[in-house]
């Protein structure tokens, strides 16, 4: 069955809601409108207004309400239109969802799933395009998932709902229209590990989410140059799977981290530091980073493209590293 990322997430939500009465969806325009990006289209008709709840534009209240409902034993899925808007609910996510289990000495957990769109590339300018998953990955107490394939759009939701702790899923807007052939009964995927998307021997490209297709393209082009690139899809930004990353870098001895967040103090910096800490003597050269330019994302297409990671920038970084290796 051929599915888009959007359809894969919808199918996962429909299956979860059909299987478990505790699961419900709420967020802005998830019902009558069908979801800002069309992910929940048709679900209101299928499950009714009680379980597919349109909310007012009150991010803090409805995210916090999701936390409260989760503490009471339900399994809410809260959709936030974009990760920029999630900042209006940051108090609830950081001060409540992430702290309640530890602060209550394990008496209360928050089995909540928050889904939101992330990333640029659609000329939506500086308040709809940022990649803030690295910020969230800073916070102990939550888990951060970044599906980069249609298979992960289909398979990450159920294990996230099964997780006893708050799980944030960052869905790159460019992947909603990505297509892939999936088995009808796509199995739940592992949400604790990074995945090796391509094996290689000369260099490791480490990435996640919307940058995964770029890195796979870049790996194809590098192969034409005789450079064998391995591609690691982090998939989970917290807790990070060091093992897969370090094992790969220990084989290839070179690493480029590709991350759509800003370069400073971001996930690429974290991955780079871990490689330095755990595989310093394996490296043939410094870890390179390809990240978004340190600007609020601009509207014009040529400027936005220049700011975001691209296949060309990944190729440049990889060739320089191999050339100097």
306 binds other proteins (CB under 8 A): no
User: Among the candidate windows 51-59, 172-180, 193-201, 269-277, which touches other proteins by CB under 8 A?
Assistant: 51-59
User: According to CB under 8 A, which residues from 211 to 270 bind other proteins?
Assistant: none
Query: How does DSSP assign 235-281, residue by residue?
Result: -EEETT-HHHHHHHHHHHS-EEEEEEEESTTSHHHHHHHHHHHHHGG
Instruction: List the catalytic residue out of 7, 28, 59, 151.
Output: 59
d(CA 259, CA 207): 6
What radius of gyration, in Å, describes the C-alpha atoms of the chain?
Answer: 20
Smallest gap, in angstroms, from Cβ of residue 115 to other proteins? 17
Please give the backbone phi and psi of residue 315, each rounded to the nearest 5 degrees, phi first: -60, -45
Q: Which of 1, 18, 60, 300 binds other proteins (CB under 8 A)?
A: 60
Count Cα atoms within 13 angstroms, Cβ side, for 243: 5
86 binds other proteins (CB under 8 A): no
Smallest gap, in angstroms, from Cβ of residue 152 to other proteins? 21
User: Among the candidate windows 3-11, 54-62, 210-218, 277-285, which touches other proteins by CB under 8 A?
Assistant: 54-62
Who contacts 166 (Cβ-Cβ below 8 Å, separation ≥6)? 67, 70, 93, 97, 98, 110, 111, 112, 113, 114, 141, 142, 143
- Read off the DSSP letter of residue 295: S
Q: Are strands 75-82 and 143-145 parallel, antiparallel or unpaired?
A: unpaired
d(CA 319, CA 322): 5
Instruction: List the catalytic residue out of 128, 133, 230, 270.
Output: 128
Who contacts 175 (Cβ-Cβ below 8 Å, separation ≥6)? 5, 147, 148, 150, 153, 209, 210, 213
Smallest gap, in angstroms, from Cβ of residue 136 to other proteins? 15
107 binds other proteins (CB under 8 A): yes
d(CA 131, CA 308): 11
What do you get for the CA distance between the two ends of the chain, in Å? 44
User: According to CB under 8 A, which residues from 119 to 178 bind other proteins?
Assistant: 140-141, 143, 162, 164-165
Smallest gap, in angstroms, from Cβ of residue 105 to other proteins? 3
Is 130 annotated as catalytic?
no
Please give the size of the binding site for other proteins, defined by CB under 8 A: 42
Q: Which of 64, 148, 209, 298 binds other proteins (CB under 8 A)?
A: 64
35 binds other proteins (CB under 8 A): no
Instruction: Give rounded-to-5 percent helix, strand, coil for the chain.
Output: 40, 20, 40
d(CA 324, CA 43): 54
87 binds other proteins (CB under 8 A): no
Nearer Cβ to other proteins, position 62 or 176?
A: 62
Q: Which of 4, 20, 29, 74 binds other proteins (CB under 8 A)?
A: 74
Q: Which of 19, 46, 48, 102 binds other proteins (CB under 8 A)?
A: 102
Q: Which of 12, 17, 70, 318 binds other proteins (CB under 8 A)?
A: 70
Residues assigned a catalytic role = 59, 128
Residues of this chain that interact with other proteins (CB under 8 A) are: 24, 50-51, 55-56, 58, 60-74, 76, 91-92, 95-96, 100-109, 140-141, 143, 162, 164-165
């Amino acid at each position: 069955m051929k599915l888009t990322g959007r359809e894969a997430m919808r199918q996962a939500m429909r299956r979860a809601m059909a299987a478990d009465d505790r699961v419900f969806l709420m967020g802005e325009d998830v019902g009558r409108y069908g979801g800002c990006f069309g992910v929940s289209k048709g679900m209101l008709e299928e499950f009714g207004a009680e379980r597919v709840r349109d909310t007012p534009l009150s991010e803090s209240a409805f995210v916090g309400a999701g936390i409260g409902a989760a503490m009471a034993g339900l399994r809410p899925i809260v959709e936030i239109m974009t990760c920029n808007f999630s900042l209006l609910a940051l108090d609830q996510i950081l001060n409540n969802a992430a702290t309640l289990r530890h602060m209550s000495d394990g008496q209360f957990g928050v089995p909540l799933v928050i889904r939101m769109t992330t990333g640029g590339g659609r000329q939506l300018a500086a308040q709809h395009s940022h990649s803030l998953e690295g910020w969230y990955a800073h916070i102990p107490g939550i888990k951060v998932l970044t599906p980069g394939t249609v298979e992960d759009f289909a398979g990450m939701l159920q294990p996230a709902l099964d997780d006893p702790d708050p799980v944030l899923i960052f869905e790159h807007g460019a992947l909603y229209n990505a297509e892939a052939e999936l088995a009808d009964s796509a199995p739940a995927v592992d949400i604790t590990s990074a995945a090796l998307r391509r094996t290689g021997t000369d260099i490791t490209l480490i990435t996640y989410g919307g940058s995964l297709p770029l890195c796979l393209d870049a790996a194809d082009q590098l192969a034409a140059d005789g450079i064998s690139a391995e591609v690691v899809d982090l998939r989970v930004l917290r807790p990070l799977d060091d093992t897969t990353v370090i094992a790969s870098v220990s084989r290839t001895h070179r690493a480029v981290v590709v991350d759509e967040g800003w370069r400073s103090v971001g996930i690429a910096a974290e991955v780079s530091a871990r490689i330095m800490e755990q595989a310093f003597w394996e490296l043939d050269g410094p870890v390179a980073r390809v990240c978004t330019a340190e600007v609020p994302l601009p509207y014009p297409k040529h400027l936005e493209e220049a700011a975001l990671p691209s296949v060309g920038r990944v190729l440049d970084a990889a060739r320089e590293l191999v050339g100097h290796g």
